[in-house]
Structure 1
Amino acid sequence: MSTIQTDLSGQTAVITGSTSGIGAALADGLAASGANIILNGLGDADAIEALRADMAKRHGVEVRYHPANMLKPEEITAMVGFGHQEFGRLDILVNNAGIQHVEKIENFPDEKWDAIIAINLTSAFHSIKAVVPIMKAQGRGRIVNIASAHALVASPFKSAYVAAKHGIMGLTKTVALEVAEHGITVNAICPGYVRTPLVDGQIADTARARGISEEAVVRDVMLTAQPTKKFVEYDELVGLMLYLASDAGASCNGAAFPVEGGWTAA
């Protein structure tokens, strides 16, 4: 009989972009399985503190917050060091931070391109670079990059986002090969549309870029790509995260895991 469990008691997880949306849901799921948590992200200081305290109380784990700016490599490195110093180990890194901008390529602002590439792709490079020596010394680690269905397929008006997410997939595969013999796995979760604050912003931007209503964006642009015609639920991502973070997912490495209702099946 299998004895594999998803109990993460005593482990430490750093989740970037985890003060809201997908990141907050993933952090909560990891905490529910016993992991100590380093939250990171933007937002009102009081709201972040309330999230931190509530998560710690409900799950009986330690939860800390680090305000690292994903545009600043030195702060990303400091965040990883902070997590290691606080708990003496760092077992799980989740690269989730991301931003979006929707616009025709000829009108795409240079500064938006630079910011999206930096936050959605380059920040993951810096966090992985900082955490791999720690995980190698431990002889075990789990790195999960939150990519997107757009790491596998493209959509119009999202040049920077699609480029960054394709880059995340390449980074995932490359690092997976480098660390495979050290008990470390690196995988990517590729969600379809989840009703997050980021997606809400995309709805308005896409409506403007395409000259259609926001209702038409949801019906004819977003969910038309997902055969289920439903947004992906947070819990569906959490379940996969726990599998990949635990011993159950030990032989999954360098892989993309689409969670998008069949979008990329065609």
Structure 2
Amino acid sequence: MQRFKDKVVVVTGGGGGIGGATCRRFATEAAQVAVFDLDLDAAERVAEAVRAAGGRAQAFHCDITARDSVNAAVASAQQALGPIDVLVNNAGWDVFKPFTKTEPSQWDKLIAINLTGALHMHHAVLPAMVQRKQGRIVNIASDAARVGSSGEAVYAACKGGLVSFSKTIAREHARHGITVNVVCPGPTDTALFADYKEGAGNPEKLMEAFTRSIPLGRIGQPDDLPGAVLFFASDDAAFVTGQVLSVSGGLTMNG
């Protein structure tokens, strides 16, 4: 399939597990992929892998917590690849502690990366989408936003805020032909989840508990997520906006 032939797709956190898998999947469907990441080396590795497989991708340094960095990355991507058709806000970070053991400095970082960063990206990309009267935005939240998650209070609050923000932006920009939807991963085998397991003190026991609690019987893998992301970004979802989809093996089942 070539659902995204010549479309320009920006993926934040594109150098990571879910972000990298998403970049690679878009590239297989003929997109031009802009791999945004704070870690430019990681972004370059993903872009190089895409190109080695015959796809098109370019890496861009982007600190989503800093508006000047966001503006520069968006401008560079537009200059190199053209107008942005799809924005995937995937970048995230977490600290795994009971809320009373966290510090305000950690809250500030969590909010800056998981909520304000996405606001920066929307604010930088939306005006051109509005002018062109077309665009797709897919925000990666978390099932923690839908049901809560012990040890992730501020992260869950940020992701819950992102869900609410997405619904509002979907309403504000529906008349401009722009759709905004949310994908909520459950436990997924990424570097972030590895940190979560270590913070729990007994990683093997935690893995067993998660596996037992997931109806499909396993922890998610990064490649489990892109299918949902690409659906929301495609013309197949042209009449879908303001929606939230969990990709969690059935761990959460929300109507």
User: 1:195·1:232 contact (CA, 8 Å) conserved in 2?
Assistant: yes
Q: Write out per-residue CA displacement over residues 192-232 of structure 1, whole angstroms, 9 at most, x where no aligned residue.
A: 1110011001100122xxxxx21111122x33442223112
User: 1:192·1:226 contact (CA, 8 Å) conserved in 2?
Assistant: no
Q: 2:148 aligns with which of 146, 154, 173?
A: 154
Work out the number of aligned pairs and report it.
254
Equivalent residue, structure 2, for 1:167: 161
Deviation at 1:250, TM superposition (A): 0.7
Deviation at 1:33, TM superposition (A): 0.7
Q: 2:191 aligns with which of 191, 197, 220?
A: 197
Give the letter for the 2:150 counterpart: P
Equivalent residue, structure 1, for 2:211: 223
1:69 and 2:63 matched:
yes
Which stretch of structure 1 is more off in the superposition, 236-245 or 194-203?
Answer: 236-245
After superposition, residues 1-266 of structure 1 pair within 5 angstroms as 7-43=3-39, 45=41, 48-61=43-56, 63-207=57-201, 213-220=202-209, 222-265=210-253
User: 1:193·1:199 contact (CA, 8 Å) conserved in 2?
Assistant: yes
Equivalent residue, structure 2, for 1:210: none
User: 2:10·2:35 contact (CA, 8 Å) conserved in 1?
Assistant: yes
- Percentage identity across aligned positions? 33
Deviation at 1:165, TM superposition (A): 0.7
> Structure 2 vs 1, CA of residues 48 and 265 (structure 1 numbering), >3 Å: closer, same or farther?
closer
Taking the aligned partners of 2:99 and 2:43, their CA distance within structure 1 comes to 35
Give the letter for the 2:20 counterpart: A
> Structure 2 vs 1, CA of residues 153 and 106 (structure 1 numbering), >3 Å: closer, same or farther?
same
What is the TM-score with the length of structure 2 in the denominator? 0.94
Which stretch of structure 1 is more off in the superposition, 10-19 or 238-247?
Answer: 238-247
> Structure 2 vs 1, CA of residues 223 and 131 (structure 1 numbering), >3 Å: closer, same or farther?
same
Deviation at 1:6, TM superposition (A): 5.4
Q: Write out per-residue CA displacement over residues 120-149 of structure 1, whole angstroms, 9 at most, x where no aligned residue.
A: 111101101111111112221110000111
Give the letter for the 2:132 counterpart: Q
User: 1:149·1:264 contact (CA, 8 Å) conserved in 2?
Assistant: yes
What is the TM-score with the length of structure 1 in the denominator? 0.90
Which stretch of structure 1 is more off in the superposition, 238-247 or 194-203?
Answer: 238-247
Deviation at 1:44, TM superposition (A): 6.8
User: 1:94·1:145 contact (CA, 8 Å) conserved in 2?
Assistant: yes
Q: CA RMSD in A?
A: 1.7
Give the letter for the 1:34 counterpart: A
Taking the aligned partners of 1:231 and 1:16, their CA distance within structure 2 comes to 23
Gaps of 5+ in 2: none
Q: Write out per-residue CA displacement over residues 40-71 of structure 1, whole angstroms, 9 at most, x where no aligned residue.
A: 224473x543432221231332x221111122
Taking the aligned partners of 2:177 and 2:125, their CA distance within structure 1 comes to 13
> Structure 2 vs 1, CA of residues 134 and 239 (structure 1 numbering), >3 Å: closer, same or farther?
same
